[in-house]
């Protein structure tokens, strides 16, 4: 019997299952897009802060080239470089760098405090001045100047401002607390009342002050870093470091609180304890900043909003990012205040208000338009 065998040329093609298409390559290091965007934004802010710091250290009435700034810094760190002449070294290390470092600390404190306030109150228009911290600190400073207090020497005004700011927060919080709970609306309304009372006290102290004291009060109320020194940097440094180190640990609970108080409680968040802790952190950051730099407004309002629009509302990036963004904004503002009207110097608080006020009006209109009203 003959067996017919098919040759490869005549054999019917065997149907085999189609091979799966190769998987698309994963993004670099499997990092989600939001994380890459946050990392890119943080890197950009850090680079901008470094550039502004170098520019601020060299620009002024006594110009110091950027290369000399770097050379002096490397020399002080023992990494090479070279020392500058006596005048340049004195200007750089005793005048410029304390001011740059103080701008970074104050800006970071105000930016971080603003992000925390907006998270605690669930209100995009909240900022540290809402609960009277800035006004209370102003009362302490203006009162010390007007009454001629000198019991701590040159530190008297700073210490009085810091203590009055913390005391104001405690009074506002104790007044708004009822039945073991604190309602956000009551806290805000109490802060408004305290701000009004603080304004009256400031007016009274201004009335009692003489011409020399009036000049000092006006300079302090307008906000400035012109009197920055290394002792002032050391005064604000502990408060800023503690507040900035503690704040990010509350980011997850702030994200849960954004869902609403009742859902946050069901998810295990002690809302009342969270509010107490964060109000104290905000008071620490803001009172220290106001005590050394005077009243500087809108940094805590403007910076968190810009970062929220750029990277979303998640507090894991928003809280530390606002600290970094606040440092960038205030470093840039201080550089502009020193150079825009040179040889005169613009008050830093006035400059931030001129920029922040239009932003606030735009934000009001944008929020109202998106929500269809305020009902």
Of 144, 138, 111, 102, nearest to 285 (Cα)? 111
Q: Give the helix/strand (H/E) hosting 119.
A: helix 97-121
Instruction: Report helix, strand or coil for 267.
Output: coil
Owning domain of residue 253: 85-364
Strand partners, 182: 177
* Cβ burial, residue 216 (10 Å; 0-12/13-18/19+): middle
The answer to whether residue 59 sits within a structural domain is no
In this predicted structure, what is the pLDDT of residue 330? 95
Q: Tell me, what DSSP letter sits at residue 20?
A: P
For residue 214, give the CATH number of its domain.
1.10.3470.10
Strand partners, 177: 182
Q: CA-CA distance, 84 to 128, in Å (whole number)?
A: 42
Q: Is the backbone of residue 373 left (phi > 0), alpha (psi -120 to 50) or beta?
A: left
The answer for residues whose C-beta is within 8 angstroms of residue 279's C-beta and 6 or more apart is 120, 131, 169, 173
In this predicted structure, what is the pLDDT of residue 254? 92
In this predicted structure, what is the pLDDT of residue 172? 84
Site of tokens 């680079």: 47
Q: Give the helix/strand (H/E) hosting 50.
A: helix 33-58
The answer to whether residue 24 sits within a structural domain is no
DSSP string, 215-244: HHHHHHHH---TT--HHHHHHHHHHHHHHH
Q: How many beta carbons lie within 10 A of that of residue 39, not counting itself?
A: 12
The answer to whether residue 294 sits within a structural domain is yes
Structural domain count of the chain? 1
In this predicted structure, what is the pLDDT of residue 310? 87
In this predicted structure, what is the pLDDT of residue 50? 95
In this predicted structure, what is the pLDDT of residue 371? 63
Stated pTM of the model:
0.83
The answer to whether residue 232 sits within a structural domain is yes
Q: CA-CA distance, 225 to 160, in Å (whole number)?
A: 18
The answer to whether residue 12 sits within a structural domain is no
Q: What is the mean pLDDT of each run of 10 residues along the chain (375 residues)?
A: 43 47 47 79 94 92 89 87 88 93 95 91 76 86 88 82 86 77 75 88 90 82 87 88 93 90 86 87 88 87 88 90 95 92 84 84 75 53
Q: CA-CA distance, 283 to 117, in Å (whole number)?
A: 10
In this predicted structure, what is the pLDDT of residue 8? 43
Q: What are phi and psi of 106, to 5 degrees?
A: -65, -45
Q: What are phi and psi of 181, to 5 degrees?
A: -135, 160
In this predicted structure, what is the pLDDT of residue 14? 46
The answer to whether residue 20 sits within a structural domain is no
The answer to whether residue 48 sits within a structural domain is no
The answer to whether residue 132 sits within a structural domain is yes
In this predicted structure, what is the pLDDT of residue 98? 94
């Amino acid at each position: 019997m003959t067996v017919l065998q098919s040759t490869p040329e005549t054999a019917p093609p065997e149907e085999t299952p189609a091979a799966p298409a190769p998987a698309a390559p994963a993004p670099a290091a499997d990092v989600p897009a939001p994380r890459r965007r946050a990392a890119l934004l943080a890197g950009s802010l850090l680079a901008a802060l470094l550039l502004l710091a170098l520019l601020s250290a060299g620009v002024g009435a006594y110009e110091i080239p950027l290369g000399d700034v770097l050379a002096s810094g490397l020399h002080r760190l023992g990494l090479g470089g070279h020392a500058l002449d006596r005048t340049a070294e004195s200007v750089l290390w005793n005048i410029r760098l304390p001011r740059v470092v103080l701008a970074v600390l104050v800006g970071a404190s105000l930016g971080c405090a603003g992000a925390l306030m907006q998270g605690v109150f669930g209100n995009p228009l909240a900022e540290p001045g809402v609960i009277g911290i800035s006004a209370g600190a102003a009362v302490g400073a203006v009162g010390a100047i007007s009454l001629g207090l000198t019991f701590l020497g040159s530190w008297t005004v700073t210490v009085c401002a810091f203590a009055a700011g913390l005391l104001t927060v405690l009074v506002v919080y104790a007044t708004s607390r009822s039945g073991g709970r604190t309602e956000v609306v009551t806290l805000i309304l109490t802060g408004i009342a305290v701000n009004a009372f603080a304004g009256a006290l400031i007016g009274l102290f201004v009335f009692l002050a003489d011409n020399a004291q009036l000049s000092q009060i006006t300079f302090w109320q307008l906000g400035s870093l012109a009197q920055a020194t290394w002792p002032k940097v050391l005064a604000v440094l502990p408060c800023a470091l503690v507040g900035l180190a503690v704040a990010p640990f509350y980011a997850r609970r702030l994200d849960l609180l954004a869902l609403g108080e009742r859902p946050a409680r069901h998810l295990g968040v002690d809302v009342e304890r969270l509010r107490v802790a964060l109000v104290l952190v905000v008071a620490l950051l803001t009172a220290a900043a106001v005590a050394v730099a005077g009243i500087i407004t809108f940094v805590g309002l403007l910076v968190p909003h810009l970062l929220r629009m750029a990277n979303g509302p998640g507090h894991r990036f928003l809280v530390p990012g606002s600290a970094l963004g606040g440092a960038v904004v205030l470093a840039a503002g201080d550089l502009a205040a020193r150079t825009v009207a040179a040889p005169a110097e613009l008050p830093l608080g006035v400059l931030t208000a001129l920029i922040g006020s239009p932003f606030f009006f735009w934000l009001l209109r944008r929020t109202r338009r998106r929500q269809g009203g305020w009902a």
